[in-house]
Structure 1
Amino acid sequence: MPTINPGLQPFDLTGYRGASGKNFFTETRVLAEAFRLNSTNQTPDYLDAVNSHLSGLGTLLGGRINELTIACHKEGKWGELVQYDNTGNRIDEIRYAPEQTELRKIFYDYGVVNLDCHASWRHEFSLQHRMALAILTNMNGEGGVACPLAMTEGLIHALRAIGTEEQKEKFLPLLTSPDSPSHFMAGQYVTERVGGSNVAANRTVATPQSDGSWRLNGEKWFCSNPGDVWVTTAKVANTNTIGLFLVSRLRQDGSLNGCRLLRKKDIIGSKGKVTVESLYEDCEATQLGRTAHGLANLIRYILRTSRLHVICGGLGHISRAIIEAESYIAQREAYGKKLAAFPSVQQTIAELKMLQASLMLISFRAFALSDAEHPLALMLVPLLKVVTTQYSAVVAKEAMILHGGNGILGDFSVLPRILNDAIINETWEGTHALLAEHAIAAARRPKVAAAWSEYLKAETASMPAETKTLVFELHEEATRLMADDFERDANRMYLCELMWRIFALCETQRALQHAPEAAAYAPLLQSFVEQGARLPFRARAA
């Protein structure tokens, strides 16, 4: 009789598949609740339709989308830059694995960027709905989709707002038509070797032509999602004006445009989509909006959209990390009992879910304010870009640690990829220090400061006395630090923490008071408020 090897017998993780097969939307209840809390002006029919649409995507995310994302994030499956065809002609194109191509098509066909163009959708396609879809999309990491989605949506907004009729007629069907063969193939080429955030330092030159077009000459250091069409910046010849331009891969005559893709970037995360370096050599372009408004339009339509999506990225990464952690601790055993039975593990999960809930609630309030172009959004969006992305990496790491040694295995769970994508998301559209400065500068503007005061007055009106006192103590400290030039600059990140805690307390208390759906997680929110929006696992400056 053959010897049975005890080390090869079934054990507690035999057949373990993590979150695979789950509905990521229904697993993240606070997402639906935050959406409803900030959509009080909508009809029940609309809310039910959105809920059904989000749930449908949630099912796909835990099923076919999860499978495809894992499959196309392996060696040999990354997108590749092909510079020449077999006869030596320059083609400069990106070729993706079939799994990545199918993945993009599933998302595109589901309407995550163009639901308002689907005849079957009979409601508005609100910003809240778009952001909820973006959060769900990011639950599989960037995946080669989330970044292209953000850039495509930003370009759609810009075209609809400031594009010429010719530009709209040529490019909007490509970007939004349900039967378009282009699935999120819009990009952004802004950063140059001399700097990213300081766009005014661009050295690429745009020269006007007699036919109304422009010719670009220069280089771009980070060219995300090279494809059919992209927005780019360039300094207008013989001026210091930065213009915003629209570039197509092909010239008007159908020949390859003068944009040479030099090499693919070796980035630690977000590997599903390709990022390259490029060189403009008499590259044909058209102006997008008025020349003198190039930087303003870049910020208003492109970066504003991207920063909202960065917030969604952080929320998506946090949510997936928690789903994976809860799946693991429910099945893994140690010392004769499930990990979920240990008080220390329960405490860690509770802290992660407190953070998730507070950030989700604040973010959906920010989406509503941004949609209404409320002054407070000028402070809240950059603030959340900082805080949400910072915490997303923390949560992903905590979820990995709950997995023990299995947490650092790239073929055991998606968490190592989620962590790397979270780090990339932290740096996208501006460093923490820069965005912190934007949030603080906005808070000091009279119009924003007045809106913040009104917000605090309204949100603390029925707040418990102890919490109300804490909110105004935090606000007083933030105001004091902002008033001094040295303190304001030296304490940028601490100021962001103060401002975040203020909003966290207000929005969490709002949910407890006005959202009956919050009953399921009310004890967590109440505990969070009682802690003064402080979380033990998060180290803070003194």
Structure 2
Amino acid sequence: GTIAAYPLVQEAVADILSETQAAVASTFYLAHLLDQLETGQGGEDTSAIYRLLVNVNKYLTSIRMTEMVHRAIEVLGGNGAIESFSVLPRLYRDAVVYESWEGTHNVLALQVLRDLGRYHLFAPFKTAMGQALAAVVQLKDEAALVTDSLRRTEVLLERLLVGTPRYAEAHARRAIEQIGVGAQAGLLILEAEWELNEGINSLKPEVIAHFLNRRLRPGYDPLEDEAYLPRLERLMAAT
């Protein structure tokens, strides 16, 4: 057989696949917001959501890119580090550069924190995402999980913004991570809902299950999930 049959390889590929689709969802959503703003179709709420997510997305996707390229190199073993074998070593170097380009992680996290306090950006984002998720029919449980996560994020932000500046700064990266993961999860669900409504044989529900379990579901333990290994096999087979 091939290494694709090994559970650890399947897990790595499932992680890479889910993070890649999450990053694509959030990045395309930002492009959509920018298009609305540049064509005069977006209002103050659109501007606020864009201002929040553009920094959150850069922070989160650059971190995930480095993590996932590293995972891909692991899958290939020693060959993964050889430039003549694959593009991964060059992508890994590019990923590290991208992490610090146009704002390091700490700078972006603190900028988001300042913007949240000064412009109250989270409320319009939470409202817009909440309304969109409330209309979801085929993935209602998943949508409810994201809605709950947005409430928890709101509580966290309120706690940070009423605390001392030093306290808020110490936990800024935790806040930006929660905002980003919640946004990506919600956007993946909205994409999957559309595909299912259109009759498309979509892989996204499987991707969403894996992403939510890894990033958002409180207390999730893959050791107790009988669907975990079959899901890994299906995600591997689809790549």
TM range (shorter): 0.7 to 0.9
User: What corresponds to 1:403 in structure 2?
Assistant: 76
1:411 is paired with a residue of what secondary structure?
Answer: coil
Deviations 1:490-514 (A, max 9, x none): 1122111111122122112212222
Structure 2 counterparts to residues 104-119 of structure 1, below 5 A:
none
Question: Where does structure 2 lack aligned partners over 5 or more consecutive residues?
Answer: 38-45, 222-239
**Closer, same or farther in 2 for the Cα pair 1:435/1:389, shift >3 Å?**
same
2:202 is paired with a residue of what secondary structure?
Answer: helix
Task: Report whether the alignment pairs 1:521 with 2:204.
Answer: yes
**Closer, same or farther in 2 for the Cα pair 1:447/1:501, shift >3 Å?**
same
Q: What is the CA–CA distance in structure 1 between the aligned matches of 2:201 and 2:95, rounded to whole Å?
A: 27
Q: Which has the higher strand share?
A: 1
User: What corresponds to 1:156 in structure 2?
Assistant: none
Task: Report whether the alignment pairs 1:418 with 2:63.
Answer: no
Q: What is the CA–CA distance in structure 2 between the aligned matches of 1:518 and 1:397, rounded to whole Å?
A: 30
Shift of 1:488: 1.7
1:502 to 163, 171, 182: 182
Question: Where does structure 1 lack aligned partners over 5 or more consecutive residues?
Answer: 1-336, 537-542
**Closer, same or farther in 2 for the Cα pair 1:531/1:428, shift >3 Å?**
closer
User: What corresponds to 2:132 in structure 1?
Assistant: 459
Deviations 1:201-248 (A, max 9, x none): xxxxxxxxxxxxxxxxxxxxxxxxxxxxxxxxxxxxxxxxxxxxxxxx
Taking structure 1 as the reference length, the TM-score comes to 0.35
Contact 2:146 2:182 in 1 (8 A): no
**Closer, same or farther in 2 for the Cα pair 1:338/1:528, shift >3 Å?**
same
**Closer, same or farther in 2 for the Cα pair 1:342/1:449, shift >3 Å?**
closer
User: What corresponds to 2:148 in structure 1?
Assistant: 469
1:422 is paired with a residue of what secondary structure?
Answer: helix
2:102 is paired with a residue of what secondary structure?
Answer: coil
Shift of 1:440: 2.3
Q: What is the CA–CA distance in structure 2 between the aligned matches of 1:520 and 1:528, rounded to whole Å?
A: 12
How many residues of Structure 1 are paired with residues of Structure 2 in the alignment?
200
2:134 is paired with a residue of what secondary structure?
Answer: coil
Q: Which has the higher helix share?
A: 2
Shift of 1:530: 4.1
Shift of 1:436: 1.4
**Closer, same or farther in 2 for the Cα pair 1:531/1:405, shift >3 Å?**
closer
User: What corresponds to 2:115 in structure 1?
Assistant: 442
1:486 to 141, 159, 166: 166
Contact 2:80 2:89 in 1 (8 A): yes
**Closer, same or farther in 2 for the Cα pair 1:443/1:357, shift >3 Å?**
same
User: What corresponds to 1:353 in structure 2?
Assistant: 17
Shift of 1:446: 3.6
Contact 2:109 2:172 in 1 (8 A): yes
**Closer, same or farther in 2 for the Cα pair 1:470/1:429, shift >3 Å?**
closer
Q: What is the CA–CA distance in structure 2 between the aligned matches of 1:466 and 1:450, rounded to whole Å?
A: 18
The code of the aligned residue for 2:75 comes to: L
User: What corresponds to 2:230 in structure 1?
Assistant: none
4+ runs deviating over 3 angstroms: 530-536
Deviations 1:25-53 (A, max 9, x none): xxxxxxxxxxxxxxxxxxxxxxxxxxxxx
Contact 1:475 1:498 in 2 (8 A): no
Larger Rg: 1
The code of the aligned residue for 2:151 comes to: F
Q: What is the CA–CA distance in structure 1 between the aligned matches of 2:117 and 2:70, rounded to whole Å?
A: 34
User: What corresponds to 2:228 in structure 1?
Assistant: none
Task: Give me the identity figure in percent.
Answer: 22
2:26 to 362, 370, 391: 362
User: What corresponds to 1:430 in structure 2?
Assistant: 103
Q: Which has the higher contact order (CA 8 A, sep 6+)?
A: 2
Structure 2 counterparts to residues 75-114 of structure 1, below 5 A:
none
Contact 1:481 1:488 in 2 (8 A): yes
User: What corresponds to 2:229 in structure 1?
Assistant: none
**Closer, same or farther in 2 for the Cα pair 1:520/1:505, shift >3 Å?**
closer
**Closer, same or farther in 2 for the Cα pair 1:518/1:355, shift >3 Å?**
farther
